[in-house]
Amino acid sequence: MGKFVQLVVDGLSTGSVYAALALAIVLVHQATGLINFAQGGMAVLSAYAVWWLTNRGLPLVAAILVAIVLSVVFGALVERWLMRRFERGDPDTAVVVTIGLLTLITGFAGWLWTYNNQQFPSLFPLDTVSFLGVSVSVRSLGTTAVIVVAMLLLQGLFVGTKLGLALRAVAINPQSAAFCGLPVGRLLMVGWGLAAALGAVAAVLVAPQLTLTPGMLDNALVYALAAVILGGLTSPIGVVIAAWIIGILENLAAVYVPFIGFDLKVAVPFILIFVVLIVRPQGLFGRKTVVRV
């Protein structure tokens, strides 16, 4: 029983990391209607920034804050100088652009910092706490807590502020938003910047476990995309719940299903996607989008 609870808590924490990445993807999709396959790569770049800064003697928390700011700037610049040109064109071309960006970032990180694994300092101690007779790791609890707080902040931004209102307006209808005098271009940059910041938080939290490599988040990207499909592209809450379900299920399957084990647990979201796509193609929580001809 204790092992089971431990697995669930650990699953919740990895699920939170997927959820953050998936939310970043949904954020970009709602603003610009495309899937950013480079979201994980951009997050890895942020993690490298933190690693580089801490190696220069900066305290970890300060380095993370600096890296988050840098990520916002980087995300905004990518939107302005790379994606802007392809946003109104063919969505497939835009997707290929994000794949090119992923290749470029991975190649850049590999060239600059090699493809070797780098040790990454952990934000949380490696202790466990006993809770009702069950010991769970502080890191899992801390990771989950930080990401839940980040999500609540984001929700507050979207619901409670004028900036959030403007961002939502652009997401719903860019043309009408422009007619109302909103600076659509700049708001899209803000959206990409926020998504990059969210990805940076996810990368920093998961990097100690995975150790830092240029392809660190390739697997996590698959999980995040699975969460996006399962939750439905239109439902941020659905995406978060789906990510948690995936995190917990893969952890349980790795231990309790002998054939899957730890090396094949990446197949779990894939199987889930299959079942859901056959039974409920719009996702567990998504709405069916109806497009007029």
State the residues that interact with another protein by CB under 8 A. Answer: 33-35, 37, 82, 84-93, 95-97, 99-108, 110-111, 114-115, 173-176, 215, 218-219, 221-222, 225-226, 228-229, 261, 263-264, 266-267, 269-270, 273-274, 277-278, 281-283, 289-293
Residue 60 or 186 having the CB closest to another protein: 186
Residue 9 or 27 having the CB closest to another protein: 27
- Shortest spacing between CB 173 and another protein, in angstroms: 5
- Shortest spacing between CB 66 and another protein, in angstroms: 25
- Shortest spacing between CB 23 and another protein, in angstroms: 15
Residue 130 or 289 having the CB closest to another protein: 289
Sign of the CA dihedral running 176, 25, 202, 138: positive
Taking the chain, what is the end-to-end CA distance rounded to the nearest angstrom?
A: 55
Residue 200 or 254 having the CB closest to another protein: 254
Residue 160 or 261 having the CB closest to another protein: 261
- Shortest spacing between CB 134 and another protein, in angstroms: 30
Residue 46 or 144 having the CB closest to another protein: 46
Pairing type for strands 128-131 and 134-137 reads antiparallel
Reference 120, options 69, 194, 47, 70; nearest CA is: 47
- Shortest spacing between CB 177 and another protein, in angstroms: 10
- Shortest spacing between CB 228 and another protein, in angstroms: 7
| 82-87 long-range Cβ contacts below 8 angstroms, 24+ apart | 83/32, 83/34, 83/192, 84/185, 84/188, 87/32, 87/33, 87/34, 87/188
- Distance CA(194)–CA(200), nearest Å, equals 10
Contact (CB, 8 A) for 170 and 188:
yes
Reference 45, options 9, 71, 24, 77; nearest CA is: 71
